[in-house]
Amino acid sequence: MGLFLSNLHIQRTNSLSVDDLKSFLAEDMASKGYTQPYNSDDGEIRVAIYAPKNSSWITVASDCFNFNDNNDTAAAAEPISERFCTSVIAMACMDSDYAFMHLINTAQKIDGWINSGSPYEGMKLPRRTSAAPWKSVVSSFEEFRQSIKEKSPFAEDVLFSTAEFIGMDKYQCGLEADRAEDLVFDPSELTLLYFSLPEGTKKELPVLRVGLYDMMPCRTDVNSVVFVNNKGGRSKGVAIRFVGDYIENDEVIIYDVTFESDYGSDKRKRIPIALEKRLDDNGNCILWWEDKNFQIPPAVNPALPFSRRERLEFEKQFGVRFFVRGNSEKFRDVEVHIIPLENPQDGHAYWTVKKLPQW
């Protein structure tokens, strides 16, 4: 639920290789001021190139893509179509409410558009849907035309139902740059590129805020949860910190701790984690865990209608689930911090039953 994506699909030719596409994308990003870091961990922008062997198309998903209308899609697709003399499909889905595909072939002057669902308030009205330009890329035009007429509560269903007639692996239709590995079965078919933002570009830092939490004190052998949403920019790296004077002498034991993300997804992730007892900068005993590679998703667009925004924030939240036992008089002292490794001081969120969550 709540699928958001913008990606490109480039029709294969005898002369087009993944390496050719890598070189083009590197040149294109360099022309816009981006650089490729020596270490991928230093990259702020991710580009995924997915080239399944059973598909007539190569897919490119990137954090840079944000397709809202045909002007956005044309700007991304036309240079690739012109360089490689092939067809390109720019595809987008907005919170499962509106999806579209824009077919471009500059040499053959093909410009086709298909959409499904309804755009959200304030979005530019979609182009008129026309199936005729798609004859050049589909195997069965009549079946293709029937598939785009089918009604569904999820706008992205038109992307998946038309894939077989376009000669595309259906998993390509749902590819997102930051979750590419989840959809790819053969790692050899996936290539990841990383780029740093242009010098002088101000990166929006992550700012976490508690969204889902327990209003009651911790209870013996009953799970407690603290989940957060990001109100700032995309980031990498997160830490969990437990604070309280119960830690030093193990008066309260925190156990069966799991870090959870993709909360509204079919692929919801629950990872058991081990908390390390250590001293903080002030000499206080704390419990600590971190994942330097966790991808913190960016803030949900505040311009979205409330119901859609609420649904997407539910899907993007992440946090910790844990159990306690020991001295019950100390349970009220349990304090949980969820910390972005970028902007840890101002971007972290915390929960304790003694205080309202930090908003």
Q: How confident is the model at residue 123 (pLDDT cuts 50, 70, 90)?
A: low
The token pair at 210 is 């508690």
What does the pLDDT average to over 189-215?
A: 84
Q: How confident is the model at residue 66 (pLDDT cuts 50, 70, 90)?
A: confident
- Check whether 13 has a pLDDT greater than 50: yes
Residues of the chain with pLDDT > 90, as a percent, come to 52
- The more confident residue out of 92 and 266 is 92
On whether the pTM is more than 0.75, the answer is no
The token pair at 60 is 């490119």
What does the pLDDT average to over 304-310?
A: 63
Q: For residue range 133-145, what is the model confidence (pLDDT) as tens digits?
A: 999 999 999 999 8
Q: Interhelix angle for 141-149 vs 157-166, to 10°? A: 180
Q: What number of helices (H) and strands (E) belong to the chain?
A: 8, 17
Q: How confident is the model at residue 264 (pLDDT cuts 50, 70, 90)?
A: low
The token pair at 313 is 């924030």
What pLDDT sits at residue 175? 87
What pLDDT sits at residue 77? 95
What pLDDT sits at residue 195? 86
* Cα gap 124→298, rounded to integer Å: 23
What pLDDT sits at residue 182? 77
Q: How confident is the model at residue 359 (pLDDT cuts 50, 70, 90)?
A: very low
CATH of domain 208-351: 2.60.40
Residues of the chain with pLDDT > 70, as a percent, come to 91
Residue ranges of domains in the chain: 5-195, 208-351
Q: For residue range 143-152, what is the model confidence (pLDDT) as tens digits?
A: 998 888 887 8
Q: For residue range 216-238, what is the model confidence (pLDDT) as tens digits?
A: 889 998 999 999 999 998 888 99
- Check whether 121 has a pLDDT greater than 80: no
pLDDT, the chain, mean: 87
Closest among 62, 148, 346, 125 to 231, alpha carbons compared: 346
The token pair at 270 is 């629950």
What does the pLDDT average to over 302-312?
A: 65
Amino acid at 103: L
What pLDDT sits at residue 297? 83
Distance of CA 30 to the CA centre of its chain: 24
What does the pLDDT average to over 122-127?
A: 67
Please count the CA atoms within 13 angstroms of the CA of 110 that sit on its side-chain side: 22
What pLDDT sits at residue 293? 85
What pLDDT sits at residue 1? 45
- The more confident residue out of 127 and 74 is 74
* Cα gap 283→276, rounded to integer Å: 15
